[in-house]
Structure 1
């Protein structure tokens, strides 16, 4: 009997010892870092720091960077990400480091939506270089950065202003109208024509620019823990909705491409799609495929619409909450171009407060707080650290825009901070909403042109007032917590001036 007890006791001890060893090994490998790798929070096995992230991840990262430094490693899910937390470090990596920091993660969520095509999420390499060069050349050819594009935007503003007037001074949500107007600027380049505001594709784009908090959490969680994406598709209606929206947009693009192919004339290149088809017919580069064209157009259409639409929504939110700044903006507009003259980009140099208002808007509500994820393309030595090839990286643009060592009272909206003592506008290298380096936003020129002309035209014609039924008017809310900083839905009253 005693022998049996001893056997059981010894067996129990061996189980405990084995379990203890396994536990120690798990934690050893979990907390192990590559040699000379930046330090940072590790969290718990499998999930890393994800369970400890708050609604605004960018704020958590800045808090940790105060302890670990402006270049730190953060275990998100089962991957070590590098997070850059100040302007100096971001510039050192993305600008000076250039090509080494220009990759894109081989991420299952990105792969599902892009099929490794397009330009925004394609990894750095020959394919991306060819397509990026084609995009820049073609966009310039169809007027981006030129007077011809400016004329298209001015033409669209008339449709937008008339749509605003149709609400007759009653409260309404302006986000759909912005999405319609901005999409039409993209449409004029991509497919050579604008669409009516009642077109069904606009309904889909509006959904993309009015995310809920839950949708934002789903997107962020799937980026940080990619292994759970398939489970989210099965059990999350928000994840399924995102997939459905992307599929709807893709279906519309497939139809556009099909129509262009049937009417293509090499002597009359009408738009971006025609230009791409022309490259296909030359057969000089195998990367010009139908799948590449569909995804490229999707990148231009969705990204170009979302970023500018959301920025304009934040602009209206600030006009409503800071009426004294709206009045100051309108006074400058009247002084420079009057009440009736159509705004032009050439007027911008004479409008320092308008430029300051826009720059503060970019800073105050960072559109993509953590930027678009990057990947290290080769082993690098930077800031005294060794970072291996394939490491994923995030840039905390929000932290740059809210650095208390650069900005006085960064949480406040103060356009005046961008003016010198003589009232001249001061361009700041610390405001980088479109990121920096080789992967900076392809549509930056178009976006800046749209925001200037739309903002000036609307403030010239209308006064933006709060919805009297909205009780919370003391401050501009932080917005939805996702990969993009999107305003919560709101209504306003618009009166002609």
Structure 2
């Protein structure tokens, strides 16, 4: 009897193992091929600090549109430009959803804009955002004036360093955030303002700290890790910071409500309050608070980090800094004021910025997408609710598109006559219906802030000790490691 029981137990265990293996390795019919990895954790053990590079290599084995199991879910990875065009652009309506990733949902609770699913609410909020930001000068002369005014404050803060080595992170984040503050709150803040600096410090925890950045990436792939120490403790601290951030924004909203006048719309908050009086279903206070957070997070971190990468490139490749300064001097002048109208006459500056965005891809996987319905594309069938990640890094480093993509070469974006040639294959703001809302503002900021800095300062390394440029803090955003810089006034 005992032997029979043991045999039965063994057979049952074997059947359970076989069924488990079958369940783990099965995929939907006509689903893109790709690795499954190990139970519960999927392909995580095969990835390193730069998963976008590993997945780009797997294109040779699995194809441009491949699948990979992250945790317990199959995600689709788009590994070249044509795959991204096929899905996010030509089938944009089907690929513009947002996946239910717990770490994101825990933060935004279905509000804001960046992680809100594709549908009526998102369309209303997106349309409102575009119209309102344009109304306050986004992409127009008014925004250019605002950016140039802030550039003067930025240069003064750099000048205060008196040629000593310093970390420029906070100066840049204060600078970029003040542009957002002008749009959202209707005013700027001094760089030493306690409220302003405290807010930026909390926002910086999401992407500025390497440990938090790594954790954020892991939780995106394997959400259940948030319940396991030390991740659980770090998530508790991040949630605490989130409560603080939203609480501070709520104080601003209350102050705006107390002074609101229909005939005097001063800023983004006022414009939203005006809509709240018309449509109360999607225009709510929680939606406004998370919308403000999205504008600050997306509008500050991305441009700040791009400028930090640009400064690293200036230091590592001094010949590019010399060419940049020469062009600025010839077009803007020694004491002139740069403007967007000068951009067409500054091809090398445009090529430099273009190459920085390619060379150090800031958001390697963009923001995760999700299929809003069952869809057939490129011979594959992808079910509704499947997470889709465009590998922007793979496009920016595709050997079929770029000669020696690992090298920084602004000249690759100039023709034989020295004219700037914009490449459609450089897509830092993504493509399709969910391209970045702040693209135009970011372009203005990058051109004017960079031009203004190089016009006024020569940037050097500390004691000729070049800071790291190949490695960075990599997760949702690829940010430079902290470094010190010397700004020598011209």
TM-score, scaled to structure 2: 0.97
**Residue 69 (structure 2) aligned to one of 65, 72, 75:** 75
Please, which of 329, 338, 352 is the counterpart of residue 324 of structure 2? Answer: 329
Map of 2:23 onto structure 1: 29
Establish whether residue 432 from structure 1 lines up as the match of residue 427 from structure 2.
Answer: yes
Choose from 100, 114, 119 the match for 1:120: 114
Deviation at 1:128, TM superposition (A): 0.3
Aligned 8 A contact 1:212 1:488 in 2: no
For residue 51 of structure 1, report the CA deviation from its aligned partner: 2.0
Pick from 260, 266, 291 the counterpart of residue 264 of structure 1: 260
Q: Aligned pair count?
A: 487
Are 1:476 and 2:472 matched, yes or no? no
Within 1, Cα distance between the matches of 2:397 and 2:4?
Answer: 60
Q: CA-to-partner distance for each residue in 1:105-146, whole Å, 9 max, x for gaps? A: 122111111110111100000000000000000000000000
- Equivalent residue number for residue 47 of structure 2: 53
CA distance 1:285–1:250, change in 2 (3 Å): closer
Secondary structure, counterpart of 2:348 in structure 1: helix
The 10-residue stretch of structure 1 (458-467 or 51-60) with the greater mean CA deviation from structure 2: 51-60
Q: Is the 8 A contact 1:186 1:300 kept in 2?
A: yes
Structure 2 contact 52–364 (Cα < 8 Å) conserved: yes
Q: CA deviation at 1:208?
A: 3.7
Match of 1:304 among 292, 299, 307: 299
Residue in 2 that maps onto 1:109: 103
Aligned match for 2:351, one of 345, 356, 360: 356
Deviations 1:271-301 (A, max 9, x none): 000000001112x351000011111111111
Shift of 1:255: 0.9
- Deviation (angstroms), 1:477: 2.5
By how many angstroms is 1:26 displaced? 0.3
1:274 paired residue among 270, 274, 281: 270
How far apart, in 2, do the equivalents of 1:391 and 1:209 lie?
26
**Partners in 1 of 2:481 and 2:191 — Cα distance?**
22
CA contact (8 A) 2:456 2:489 kept: yes
Aligned match of 2:236 in 230, 236, 240? 240
Q: 2:143 aligns with which of 119, 135, 149?
A: 149
Confirm or deny: 8 A CA contact 1:191 1:273 kept in the other structure: yes
Alignment partner, residue 218 of structure 1 = 215
Q: Equivalent residue for 1:228?
A: 225
Distance of aligned partners of 1:209 and 1:235 in 2 relative to their CA distance in 1, 3 Å threshold: closer
Alpha-carbon distance between aligned partners in 2 of 1:280 and 1:216, rounded to the nearest angstrom: 35
2:481 paired residue number: 488
Q: Which residue of 2 aligns with 1:4?
A: none
Alignment correspondent of 1:171: 165
Report if the CA contact (8 A) 2:225-2:231 is conserved.
no
Q: Deviations over 1:17-57 (max 9, x none)?
A: 11111000001000000011001000011111112211100
Deviations 1:87-108 (A, max 9, x none): 0010110011111000001221
Residues 359, 431 of structure 1: 8 Å contact kept: yes
Q: Which residue of 2 aligns with 1:85?
A: 79
* Native 8 Å contact 1:209 1:306 kept in 2: no
CA distance in 1, matches of 2:222, 2:430: 24
Contact preservation (8 Å) 1:253, 1:294: yes
* SS state at 1:80 partner: strand
Q: Which ranges in structure 1 are unaligned for 5 or more consecutive residues?
A: 1-6
Partner of 1:405: 400
410-419 or 475-484, larger mean C-alpha shift: 475-484
Aligned residue runs from structure 1 range 6-21, under 5 A: 7-21=1-15
* 1:294-332 Cα shifts (integer Å, max 9, x gaps): 111111111100111111111111111111100100000
Determine the C-alpha separation between the residues in 2 that align with 1:493 and 1:96: 47
Q: Which residue of 1 aligns with 2:131?
A: 137
Q: TM-score, normalised by structure 1?
A: 0.96
* Residue pair 1:209, 1:309 contacting (<8 A) in 2 also: no
Aligned 8 A contact 1:419 1:425 in 2: yes
* d(CA) in 1 for partners of 2:209, 2:256: 36
Name which of structure 1's ranges 237-246 and 286-295 shifts more when overlaid on structure 2: 237-246
